[in-house]
Amino acid sequence: MGNAPTCREAILAIKPYIPGKPIEEVQRELGIKDVIKLASNENPLGPSPDAVQALRDASEKVYLYPDGNCYYLKESLAEKLKVSPENLIIGNGTDEILKLLAETYLDSGDEIVMADPSFSEYEFAAKVMGGRAIKVPCRNFRHDLSAMAAAVTTKTKLVFICNPNNPTGTIVGKAALEGFLKEVPPHVLVVMDEAYAEYVTAEHYPDSLEFVRNGMNNVIVLRTFSKIYGLAGLRVGYGVAASQIVNDVNRVREPFNVNLMAQAAAIAALKDEAHVGKSLEMNNEGKKYLYNQFEALNLKYVPTEANFIFVNIEKDSREVFKELMKKGVIVRTGDIFGYKDFIRVTIGTQRQNEQFIWALKEVLNEV
């Protein structure tokens, strides 16, 4: 045997993503039936029943290639968001769009600017292209927009604003964002990642689509069907931007990147506003319940505008994670975000929230 093929140098800087075990495997190993996953910010109510019916109907058509232009999904989205279909790009999850943006805009040695802690996919996408992530520490768990603007150089191609921010749940407000956009030079594309937009209740949350509607051509807004729409398993997300940006990103997109089932379900999910309303209401109730419980336990948490809470448990989160798992509750440890004593927990159904709090109380007494 000769030497194995060598991979690109840039790839060596990437730590492979380590996926958690399937929930079924955790249940089998621990011998418990009722394991709840509050680790990935999925909708605990599941998908809209209309989306499920659309999937049944679409299943007969899977011998056909999907519509490579997502014609009907774009029509539905355009109408709802009050933009033109030419302003839309659909991806195999928002994750794919993040990668497409990196492929479209980053040469080796280029920079992206992002907050820290924030969503790790931005750095991953940059590194795949040999780019460098400039991570600007959050202040009080919020994006420090003036420091982020100051971090922009001639090499900066993309700036990521995760709004609400994952894992902190905080938002960037309208006035601050408008100020920031004035400071950022026009050669920089500002990526507004709004995966949790539908959960936000704060009045000062910006309507960033308005920038696109007004013809601003260095902003792209990303949303997803994985969170409040409950379709994470199907992989569908979208970007809204000036048509020139959409056209450029389309050059690197695979022709059939969004599968047929996903397109059908997304259209149906978008129409079922009652399901979205119910999901939002449950999230708001769950948020209140968890805040009260954390306060009773004397635990500090970051007030959230999303469907997860970043909580300071004042113990090693990996230990707490292991013990919570034994009690059938899976959360996200904070160490991956640089906060070893924090956990990020998805707001679940009332029953799930109660099971989580019960388990947390037990574990904090033990660890």
Ligand X SMILES: *Cc1c(COP(=O)(O)O)cnc(C)c1O
Size of the site for ligand X (CB under 6 A): 14
The gap from C-alpha 299 to its chain's centroid, in whole angstroms, comes to 25
Part in contact with ligand X (CB under 6 A); list of ranges 151-159, 221-229, 267-275, 287-295? 221-229
Cβ at position 240, least distance to ligand X in Å: 14
Among 93, 230, 239, 348, binds ligand X (CB under 6 A): 93
- Cβ closest to ligand X, residue 41 vs residue 355: 41
**Residues 108-127 interacting with ligand X (rule: CB under 6 A):** 119
- Residue 224 as a binder of ligand X (CB under 6 A): the answer is yes
Work out how close the CB of 41 gets to ligand X at its nearest, in angstroms, rounded to a whole number.
6
Minimum CB distance to ligand X, residue 253 (Å)? 15
285-344: contacts with ligand X (CB under 6 A): none
- Binding region for ligand X (CB under 6 A) out of 89-97, 264-272, 280-288, 291-299: 89-97
Per-residue binding string, ligand X, 33-72, x by CB under 6 A, is --------x-------------------------------
Pick the stretch among 25-33, 90-98, 213-221, 285-293 that binds ligand X (CB under 6 A). 90-98
Among 43, 48, 76, 166, binds ligand X (CB under 6 A): 166
Part in contact with ligand X (CB under 6 A); list of ranges 54-62, 77-85, 224-232, 345-353: 224-232
Closer residue to ligand X (CB): 111 or 193: 193
Region class of 328: left (phi > 0), else alpha (psi between -120 and 50), else beta? left
Residue number closest to ligand X, CB atom: 93
* 230 is an interface residue for ligand X by CB under 6 A: no
**Nearest distance, CB of residue 237 and ligand X, angstroms:** 4
Q: What is the 3-state secondary structure (H, E, C) of the chain?
A: CCCCCCCCHHHHHCCCCCCCCCHHHHHHHHCCCCCEECCCCCCCCCCCHHHHHHHHHHHCCCCCCCCCCCHHHHHHHHHHHCCCHHHEEEECCHHHHHHHHHHHHCCCCCEEEEEECCCCHHHHHHHHCCCEEEEEECECCECCHHHHHHCCCCCEEEEEEECCCCCCCCCCCHHHHHHHHHHCCCCCEEEEECCCHHHCCCCCCCCCHHHHHCCCCCEEEEEECCCCCCCHHHCCEEEEECHHHHHHHHCCCCCCCCCHHHHHHHHHHHHCHHHHHHHHHHHHHHHHHHHHHHHHCCCEEECCCCCEEEEECCCCHHHHHHHHHHCCEECEECHHHCCCCEEEEECCCHHHHHHHHHHHHHHHHHC
- When asked if residue 232 is in the footprint of ligand X (CB under 6 A), the reply is yes
The residue (of 162 and 320) whose beta carbon lies closer to ligand X is 162
Q: Is 216 a residue that touches ligand X (CB under 6 A)?
A: no
- The position carrying tokens 């990020």 is 344
Residues that bind ligand X (CB under 6 A): 41, 93-95, 119, 162, 166, 193, 195, 224, 226-227, 232, 237
